[in-house]
């Protein structure tokens, strides 16, 4: 098997991008600009503006916290409670047969039976 020797000319090489000029230091500033003046983009806000922004952020954070609490309460209301019941063999067979014949889950049958019993006895 003949292995070919690779040379630098076999690869395409991209040209370099032009480098950007470094930002001007205060010593190299153009003569038309005054040295030491603050940049208008980075101007400091007044205390009143700072207070308003802080109050706005605090109100937004409070609303987020309240909505999170409401969400947690809503989730807690929908928590399912489980009841472990020991059933004898005959009762379990009847429950299974009722679920199969009515094409529902056994838990649905148990919930309906408990609801009926509690309603009939005033609970």
pLDDT of 43: 76
Instruction: Tell me if 44 sits within 8 A of 53, measured CB to CB.
Output: no
Name the DSSP letter for residue 21: P
pTM above 0.95, yes or no: no
CATH topology of domain 82-123: Arc Repressor Mutant (1.10.1220)
Identify the CA nearest to 98 among candidates 117, 112, 83: 112
- Give the pLDDT mean for 95-114: 93
Question: Mind listing the pLDDT tens digit for each residue in 3-13?
Answer: 678 777 777 87
Q: What is the pLDDT of residues 23-64, one digit of tens each?
A: 555 555 555 555 555 556 777 888 898 999 999 999 999 999
What residues does each domain of the chain span?
Answer: 44-79, 82-123
pLDDT, tens digit (0-9, with 9 covering 90-100), for 63-100: 998 998 988 888 777 677 788 989 999 999 999 999 99
């Amino acid at each position: 098997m003949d292995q070919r020797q690779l040379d630098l000319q076999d690869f395409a090489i991209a040209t370099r991008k032009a480098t950007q000029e470094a930002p001007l230091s205060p010593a190299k500033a153009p003569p038309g600009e005054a040295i030491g003046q603050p940049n208008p983009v980075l101007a400091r806000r007044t205390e009143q503006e700072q207070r308003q922004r802080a109050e706005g952020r605090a109100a937004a954070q409070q609303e987020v916290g309240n909505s999170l609490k409401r969400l947690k309460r809503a989730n807690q209301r929908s928590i399912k409670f489980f009841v472990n019941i020991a059933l004898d063999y005959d009762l379990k067979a009847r429950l299974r047969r009722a679920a199969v014949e009515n094409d529902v889950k056994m838990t649905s049958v148990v919930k309906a039976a408990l609801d009926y019993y509690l309603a009939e006895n005033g609970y």
